[in-house]
A = this chain, B = another copy of it.
Amino acid sequence: MSKAITSKEKNYSDWYNDLVVEADMAEHSDVRGCMVIKPHGYAIWEKMQATLDKMFKDTGHVNAYFPLFIPKSYLSKEAAHVEGFAKECAVVTHYRLKNAEDGSGVVVDPEAKLEEELIVRPTSETIIWNTYKGWIQSYRDLPLLINQWANVVRWEMRTRLFLRTAEFLWQEGHTAHATREEAIEEAEKMLNVYAEFAEHFLAMPVIKGIKTASERFAGAEETYCIEALMQDGKALQAGTSHFLGQNFAKAFDVKFANKEGKLDFVWATSWGVSTRLMGALIMTHSDDKGLVLPPRLAPLQVVIVPIYKGEEELAKISERALEFKSALQKKGISVKYDDSDKQRSGWKFAEYELKGVPVRVAIGPRDFQNGTVEIARRDTLTKEVVSHEGLADRIEKMLEEIQQSLFDKAKSRLVASTRKADSYDAFKKMLDEDGGFILAHWDGTPETEERIKEETKATIRCIPLDQEKEDGKCMVSGKPSNGRVVFARAY
């Protein structure tokens, strides 16, 4: 196989980029900052979508779809929001092209200028709350629990496949509530949905917390987040859930009459995860041979490859292989029997390793005679020769083991990479030598936070929800603190 992936040791960043492209996950397009999500990558995203969508529906949410374009003036209606989002964005100014007079192609028709420019949505709070105004009059209309699956655009200057792209795919939940308490409960509930999804499906342990004021979503009163740790010791924000207070209701004048007929502004949340999770998934488990996928998100969980000379051998092996395939399918396991003659078995082995198929079954003529097959586990790269008998049961169990084992391994790494620093020097040393999550005391001021960020490139990932009360002193200012926050360098 000619596909070459830089080793993680040599260059983690090149390893990631090579892997994403070679494993058919995604590639850069000719359009600056926009990626093409290739079929294998998209198949994994579809599994993520289906799983999350079910979790959203099980918690009472429905889907809807709002316009791609946002009138420029909407962005200005919420003061904090405009500062955060009305900067780097794609602006539609015209609605028509015409043939160039010199015959060189098409040019923008200057006559077709929009009266008000349209922004390609960077997030949809404004257009959605402008719509909710028409949907909410009474407490009977609440809560409104709506999610949207959509593409959004933020004009990022430095892009990386999945992790930071100008256009990305995501879901954004936007809910409306009658009380502050109910909205906070919703924001916390969705954070827990995200954490459960990350740990149970991505096999990726996370820390749940709240953002500091300076890292909050533009327009939020509180931003909850889940933070994960990649293999190179850098953190990755994997999902956020915002309690928006009455900010957007006030900006778009959305009031409701309560049971007593009294008018009040509506309370809001929004929450989202994106194709960024694809990057998190890749960086949490994969190795130098390619992708390693947790079985619950693997589009293909098992591949069966025949090893044969000639049609006669293939026919015999195929008969048995198709029995295995059928037995696995009955268990709801997705399986492919690859008897294509376009490629050799060695090429296929490498290809399925690259693509992260959790279990590979190989059947050669000797296996066939002995009533055995060779099973290879993608995560550990171990092989064993086992009997035909009870094969489907064994593989079913193996898939569960792989799922658990990937989580355990990532969890051990997270635990080992989460350390306490009690001085700024120790903090900087830890950061430079190993990275990871560093628990340290901070005085709670944005000034200190900013200074640490400037001097070390580490940010406060979150104030953990399970923060232990512990009196201490800020490692920088020496001012009192009553609990440690989580620092890291981050993607």
Residues of A within 8 A of B (CB): 27, 29-31, 34-39, 42-43, 45-46, 62-73, 75-76, 82, 86-98, 105-106, 108, 117-120, 127, 130-131, 134, 140, 146, 150-151, 153, 155, 167, 169, 342-343
Contacts and interface: CB of A to CB of B under 8 A. Distances in A.
Give 6 nearest A-B pairs by CB, closest first.
A34-B67, A37-B65, A76-B105, A39-B62, A91-B94, A95-B155
Nearest to A93: B93
Contacts of A97: 72, 75, 86-87, 89, 91, 119
B131 A67 contact: no
Given A34-B68, A69-B34, A93 B95 contact: no
A91 B93 contact: yes
A343 B119 CA distance: 40
Contact of A95 (B86, B89, B94): B89
27 contacts: A29-B67, A30-B71, A31-B67, A31-B71, A34-B67, A36-B66, A36-B67, A39-B62, A39-B64, A42-B62, A45-B65, A68-B153, A68-B167, A72-B106, A72-B108, A73-B105, A87-B96, A87-B97, A89-B96, A90-B95, A92-B93, A92-B120, A93-B94, A95-B155, A96-B155, A97-B119, A120-B120
Contacts of A167: 67-69
A448 to B, nearest CB: 28
B63 A46 contact: yes
A402 to B, nearest CB: 24
Contacts of A88: 95-96
Contacts of A108: 72, 91, 93, 117
A425 B140 CA distance: 58
Contacts of A119: 97
B96 A82 contact: no
Given A69-B34, A92-B91, A97-B86, A146 B105 contact: no
A150 B149 CA distance: 11
A266 to B, nearest CB: 17
Contact of A64 (B42, B71, B91): B42
A93 B112 CA distance: 13
Most buried by B among A62, A91, A169: A91
A87 to B, nearest CB: 6
Contacts of A64: 36-39, 42
Given A30-B130, A91-B96, 10 more contacts: A30-B71, A31-B71, A38-B64, A67-B167, A73-B105, A91-B92, A91-B108, A92-B120, A93-B93, A95-B155
A27 B63 CA distance: 15
A62 B300 CA distance: 13
Contacts of A98: 87
A490 to B, nearest CB: 24
Contact of A63 (B42, B71, B72, B91): B42
